[in-house]
């Protein structure tokens, strides 16, 4: 079974621009969660989507948004990029929504904001 895929793997953007990251979950998985990983803050939860609905949201500004499509693929958008948005963005899929399910992480998208 193919794993979680994320595109692009690397991205360099300029302050003020916007960016869209994509995540394709494992086939049959309906929940997709997004995380931001930085050396200083660790793994921080952004949001979770299940059946095209946002189920949970972390403590991030409204510049961070996402959506999920009917095939469970998910996109994350960050508008008006700031230097502090430089991070590894990880998506994780799980069979269904809820904290009791194993999460399968993708390889991540490394975003650098200059």
Partner 1 sequence: GQQVMQIPQYQHVQEGEDFTTYCNSSTTLSNIQWYKQRPGGHPVFLIQLVKSGEVKKQKRLTFQFGEAKKNSSLHITATQTTDVGTYFCAASSGSARQLTFGSGTQLTVLP
Residue whose tokens read 């899929």: 93
Q: List the one residue from 33, 68, 72, 74 that touches partner 1 (CB under 8 A).
A: 33
Q: Which stretch binds partner 1 (CB under 8 A): 17-25, 64-72, 74-82, 101-109?
A: 101-109
**Nearer Cβ to partner 1, position 62 or 100?**
100
**CA distances, 41 to each of 37, 82, 95, 98, 107 (Å):** 7, 16, 27, 23, 19
**Rounded distance, CA 103 to CA 93, Å?**
6
Count residues binding partner 1 (CB under 8 A): 24
Letters for 42-81 (x = contact with partner 1 by CB under 8 A, - = none) are xxxx--x------xx-xx----------------------
Q: Are 54 and 64 in contact (CB under 8 A)?
A: no
Minimal distance, residue 55 CB to partner 1, in Å: 6
């Amino acid at each position: 079974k193919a794993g979680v895929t994320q595109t692009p793997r690397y991205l360099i953007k300029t302050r003020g621009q916007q960016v869209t990251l994509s995540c394709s979950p494992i086939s049959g998985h309906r929940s997709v969660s997004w995380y931001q990983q930085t050396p200083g803050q660790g793994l921080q939860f952004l949001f979770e989507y299940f059946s095209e609905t946002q189920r949970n949201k972390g403590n991030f500004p409204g510049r961070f948004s996402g959506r999920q499509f009917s095939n469970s693929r998910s996109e994350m958008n960050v508008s008006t990029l700031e230097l502090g948005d430089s991070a590894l963005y990880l998506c994780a899929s799980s069979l269904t929504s809820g904290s009791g399910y194993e999460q399968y992480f993708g390889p991540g998208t490394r975003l650098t904001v200059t």
